[in-house]
Structure 1
């Protein structure tokens, strides 16, 4: 295939199509009309001699060739974007850069309000946040799919840098007028009480459930949910307990809730900032890391 004969704008359209898997949504994503995106898809099919996206009863599905193209295409476009935008001349007040940050909903609750508020006046910088598993987070850093990650305890190679952002520890949250008296949460009452758990939280497993398992005990989980947002609403209406990082509890706290120390030893832990060493000297990535670090310093 001769690169000189290729309209590189088609690759931008292909990335949008593979991401959205919907012609109209892909058109909106890149600012094209629906007919123009349909025309781009037809040209792409001819160029790659493959259907790329096939219409099914459940929507458009990528072909094996399209799945093969998706990751290297995204990396290539990201690198082209970096080439076109001079990092040396990065100016946060003038840049239209979109930074992609991996963080969980816990960390989004803690950091995003302050991070958004700390954007320079009239700035056109934007943030895109995604939530990935630990292993996929490391892969995304290696593949240059994200700028930085905020997480904890990631196992990674020497190509990934890290620094401590915020010290935290696990606590127990319950409704304000819970039958367990204030300051009277014992190990026995903790184990006996029904609890709710956030299934996607590694902190629950590592700093509570594993500790209890070592003592031959386990929590009575009455409710398992995938996200943190619902937790305070459930606690206020029930006698369930929930364990969570103290900094998150401080954000969720209101007059209807109270927090108690766990009645057993649970090691403190640190939220960490991760980035790839290719960006050690990057002005743009360095600016982003400084903003996140400053936000966490305020929380401390």
Structure 2
């Protein structure tokens, strides 16, 4: 038998109701993070991992030492399906998700350009001509590039000369130290790099803000442990609100 259209329509609501029932049956007592023994699977990009994971693990060590975290790459699967099937508990980033998925803003970041402090042509101010003339390093996980940044540049008819595409961001500081290349990255990520020998600069073009969200499936919306974890992640993210901006 195949589910009817009405059954498909009701499926998200049924999932949420069943989740609430499981919560009542399986969590009859007050929730205590210190007593929690559970593995949470989080999916996030390198950027989100660098920004959020260290303070999150620190908080878990203090509040729920028996909790385990498994981090999975956002490029490893289709986010919507992974949330629906429980393959991941929480998705952190900026993704297109469908019905049955809740979302919450964690923080907003701005883009900043970074070059070597000994760059032969670029000093304290980056002009549009310099931005177009120099070679760029592009962070391109799974070869996709940065969709948000690329779309903004395309609308302004600005085309970067890309010399290197990288699936990971950890090697970027080392490359900038050895070349006159430019990289355009979120400011909070730039702040995590070893600033010695590097110079952050305000981009010479108008770029959008980067909104970082957390996503979870409605089946776990009422789960006390999951709700506690979401609150903890959001609390940590809020501390980043007053973090460094472009050129800082």
Question: How large is the RMSD of aligned CA atoms in angstroms?
Answer: 2.4
Match of 1:199 among 140, 143, 147: 140
**Residue 185 of structure 1 aligns to a residue in which SS?**
coil
Distance 1:162 1:203, change over 3 A: farther
**Residue 177 of structure 1 aligns to a residue in which SS?**
coil
Q: Unpaired runs of 5+ in structure 2?
A: 1-18, 242-248
Q: Which residue of 2 aligns with 1:86?
A: 26
Give the Å deviation of 1:154.
2.0
Q: How many residues align?
A: 218
Structure 1 segments (4+ residues) deviating >4 Å: 201-204
Q: Which residue of 1 aligns with 2:244?
A: none
Pairing 1:218-233 to 2, within 5 Å after superposition: 218-233=159-174
* 1:88–1:283 CA contact under 8 A, matched in 2: no
1:138 aligns with 2:76: no
1:254 aligns with 2:195: yes
Match of 1:212 among 134, 153, 162: 153
1:111 aligns with 2:52: yes
The structure with more helix, counted as a fraction of residues:
1
Cα deviations across residues 175-223 of structure 1 (Å, max 9, x unaligned)?
1121244332111110110111111189953333222223333111111
1:290 aligns with 2:231: yes
**Residue 88 of structure 2 aligns to a residue in which SS?**
coil
Q: Which residue of 2 aligns with 1:101?
A: 42
Cα deviations across residues 40-79 of structure 1 (Å, max 9, x unaligned)?
xxxxxxxxxxxxxxxxxxxxxxxxxxxxxxxxxxxxxxx9
Structure with larger RCO (C-alpha < 8 A, sep 6+): 2
> Bigger radius of gyration, 1 or 2?
1
Q: Which residue of 1 aligns with 2:106?
A: 165
- TM-score, normalization by structure 1: 0.67
Q: Unpaired runs of 5+ in structure 1?
A: 1-78
Q: Which residue of 1 aligns with 2:89?
A: 147
- TM-score, normalization by structure 2: 0.80
**Residue 83 of structure 2 aligns to a residue in which SS?**
helix
